[in-house]
Structure 1
Amino acid sequence: MTPRVIALDLDGTLLTPAKTLLPASLNALARAKEAGFLPVIVTGRHHVAIHPFYQALALDTPAICCNGTYSYDYHAKKVIESDPLPVDQALQLIELLNEHNVHALMYVDEAMVYEQPTGHVLRTRDWSLRLPVAQRPTFTQVDSLAQTATEVNAIWKFALTDENSDKLNAFALHVEQTLGLECERSWHDQVDIARRGNSKGMRLAQWVASQGMTMQDVVAFGDNFNDISMLEAAGTGVAMGNAEEAVKARADVVIGDNTTDAIADYLYSHLL
């Protein structure tokens, strides 16, 4: 069956290590749209942090954000479907973060907030400062994540970072066991925490069904553990060459890494 939906993770997949889109990828996806395919961004990012890519790709499909916590209509500027964290669970998580001295970026409403400027926060902030003002995401340092959690409308997810991978993994397991939240690794030094049941695969399947299709109509591209749910659910799951071996093992196809024209080559040879 020929896919009709092209689901694309951003970091480590469609984006190069320099957070840019390859010209070949842009051209191939433009050709795919002309041929009637539906490209969809499925990312761990907040919707405020994907403006330049969504606009460069000239999409009209919703963006699936924060590992499937919600889908966002860029043209109407509104959240479509969502399952944010309940405030009480967010406060319990923040208490654990403080107890274990783990720093987090909290994704809320239209912004990302933090108490301590960790390496992840600084890297993302520095990247955002290179963008045109209208495309820059909002990063705000706050005195208290707990206080902020009680003041916002929605808490999408927490992004945890620590240079000690073992510590981060152990903390994520503790959170899963004690709070029953969804913990997924999204980068080599980052674990994302969201409400149980949220995943890229779940939210993508929800949108695909709303369009009268099934996941067999989807070819999905990803590179990290938070992509496995959609790689396995899609008719064809494509892992990048730079993906972890455990991720590659869950995909149907493995292509070149995100510094090459591997995505464009796959689209031309299998879809176009």
Structure 2
Amino acid sequence: MTAQLFVVATPIGHLDDMSFRAIETLKSVDLIAAEDTRQSIQLLKHFNIQTPLTACHDHNESHKIETLIEKMIAGQSIALISDAGTPLISDPGFKLVRAAQAHDIKVTPVPGACAAIAALSAVGLPSDRFSFQGFLPSKSTQRIAELERLKHETQTLIFYEAPHRILASLKDMASVFGADRYIGFAREITKTFETIKKMPLHQLIEFVEQDHHQQKGEIVLVVAGKTDITDVTDAKLDEIMQRLLQDLSVKAAAQVATDLFGIKKKVAYQRALELMQQNDE
């Protein structure tokens, strides 16, 4: 078989999320290029994978590419893995994949866990349109500038964040996006202390401040896109609210309207209550 580059997803926490195909691929290739060989060797030991490892990370990828390409041209297949999840998603590998394609080497994905997609699937924010933004800048001035660039986006936004910056980033988001913007918070996904929440930014800041454990581990933030209520007429809002009230309680209808249009929950509840009373008259 012609040599290939396999891009292999690995678990982000729970080892049972390792697919049979991923295990067989890692066993069958000639070499595994890993972001951190010290961490990856533990995964390989767990699944009794004895394939040789070589390091391929941010600091050596440019220099390592030529060697890896030569091996594949010579007929050796290579698997690319990151420390956890899907390679290239805020992890090294893009340069290697691009170089393989330039040399007509087939690149084959072996899909699996991805923290960004796992978080999006569980926080309950719109998932039909979303944008993955990776890590925000570490300095507040640069972070705020990036958030300002994104504050009018209507699609859901996904970020990774380091635990030591989580509070500062949330506060910057609140100052730029508004304290009432809904946000999903997914920490330590698939691990023992997994936490998944959805609430307005001001409530999440309070939650994280009060529980220091929420400032540890791997964190994904899923931010609701901007919804401009001025684009929705009062008549249109009432029409949608009336439809919601056919199937939902006043409280549930108000919550849906809040999520859809960015209305304050008290305002949405009051309007839903008025419409329900009108319907009963």
User: Which is higher, the Rg of structure 1 or of structure 2?
Assistant: 2
Going by fraction, where is helix more abundant, 1 or 2?
2
Tell me if TM exceeds 0.5: no
Q: Which has the higher contact order (CA 8 A, sep 6+)?
A: 1
Q: TM-score, normalised by structure 1?
A: 0.31
Going by fraction, where is strand more abundant, 1 or 2?
1
